[in-house]
Amino acid sequence: MRRVLRPTAFFACASVVLLAGCASSSPAPLDIVTATDHDGSESAGVGSADAGSGGSDDTPGRGCGELSAELQRALDAAVEAQRLPGAAAAVTLGGCSWRGAAGIADTEADVAIQPGDLFRAGSITKTFVATLVLMLRAEGRLSLDDAVAAHVDGIPRGDRISVRQILNHTSGIFDYTAIDEFWTAAFDDPTRTWTPAELIDLAASKPPYFEPGGGFAYSNTNYIIAGLIVEAASGEPIGELLRARVLEPAGLAHTYLDGAEAALPGLVHGYGRSRGELVEMTSAIDASAAGAAGALVSTAGDLTSFYRKVLDGTLLGPAELEEMTAWVDAPLGEVTGYGLGLSRRASPLGVQVGHDGGIWGFTSSSYSAVDKDASITVLVNLDGGDVGRIVDDLSNVLISP
């Protein structure tokens, strides 16, 4: 297989591919699934529900087992329709959980994807970094209205850009992933280790999109800077802080920040397409090129659990959650607003909040419809897979009679 020497959407969030969705009229109430306990473990089989979930004969509508089968069929159909190598998904609705997978993790070895396999999560990393910033804010270590220059030196206009503007993409700072020179250098030397300063300098070589606070422009550079703010305000490396403050407390045992800590086994192979053929992209560029903007590796189950614990107040207090969900207009496909490392999108379930991601070889989406107590994560091992469509496919299963 040949390597694809081209720019990819990677950890950008501003592409139609990553933010595709579907508006809908009022959905049916989600009272169709019998509640059951589920520990969310990554050992669940394809399309599985807990043994002994029972209740389907005693409760109107579908039981967890029937719903699991319908979700698995929808995932199978999506992988076939999009000609994807494979996908893993997790759905939680009330007390019911489902973990499913379809397709291939390694086309050469013909290895099937399992529900608990690891994928690169791309820009979903941004929600994790924003969560750390808000935790530090709750402890008084920083203010969202601080100038970036109060924490990090060498940021152009850093004395005029606030931490909040970094997190909600209203800083105007140019996106280094929109620069051809970056891609040329990255693909010419896939093992090159990139420093945050190098990525920021690339962005600084281009004029800003607008004056600070003068608009919205999704920029990966913002979260490279956010990672430096976290380290400056905490005095700890971001990988260590993320593990101690988020991953371990939330029980996310299958998640890590690539390049910042040791990798876990089980990462599926990621692919691109060139002239209709799949091209291996798993390690096309060193993870340092994504850093705090997109280097997270995780599973569908872990990501679903993370967003539920952010949004239900387990990880963040009410004041911080209110700040995170203060939306600015974000003209990004079906995304209708952007908060602090969090997107709001329309879907068949109504409003969902979460994030999308794309990185070489992988595309991801994890969203929750909080008022329906429904969460959906979809991970695809193809650069440019339409994960938003699959999220909507699975949402339609949840609201179907």
Q: Which helix (H) or strand (E) holds 341?
A: none
- Residue 130 domain-assigned? yes
- Residue 52 domain-assigned? no
- Residue 37 domain-assigned? no
Range of the domain at 360: 64-399
Cα distance between residue 103 and residue 355, in whole Å:
24
Helix 387-399 to helix 64-82 angle, to the nearest 10 degrees? 150
Residue 284: the pLDDT is 93
pLDDT at 240 over 70: yes
pLDDT per position as a tens digit, 192-232:
999 999 999 999 999 999 999 999 999 999 999 999 999 99
* Other Cβ atoms closer than 10 A to 184: 12
Q: For 23-151, list the strands marked E by DSSP.
A: 86-93, 96-106, 111-112, 119-120
DSSP code, position 328: B
Cβ-based neighbours of 105, under 8 Å, separated by 6 or more: 85, 86, 111, 112, 113, 114, 117, 268, 269, 381
Cα distance between residue 209 and residue 111, in whole Å:
45
- Residue 377 domain-assigned? yes
Share the mean pLDDT of the chain.
87
Cα distance between residue 384 and residue 19, in whole Å:
11
Cα distance between residue 215 and residue 211, in whole Å:
8
Residue 61: the pLDDT is 54
Tokens coding 382? 């193809």
- Residue 41 domain-assigned? no
Q: How far is CA 339 from the centre of its chain?
A: 14
pLDDT per position as a tens digit, 114-153:
999 999 999 999 999 999 999 999 999 999 999 999 999 9
Cα distance between residue 307 and residue 344, in whole Å:
13
- Residue 3 domain-assigned? no
Instruction: Provide the domain count of the chain.
Output: 1
pLDDT at 7 over 50: no
- Residue 12 domain-assigned? no
pLDDT at 332 over 90: no
- Residue 47 domain-assigned? no
CATH number, domain of 188, equals 3.40.710.10
Tabulate helix, strand, coil % of the chain (nearest 5). Answer: 35, 20, 45
Q: In Å, how far are 343, 387, 388, 396, 400 from 24, measured between CA atoms?
A: 18, 18, 14, 10, 13
Cβ-based neighbours of 92, under 8 Å, separated by 6 or more: 38, 40, 98, 304, 308, 374, 375
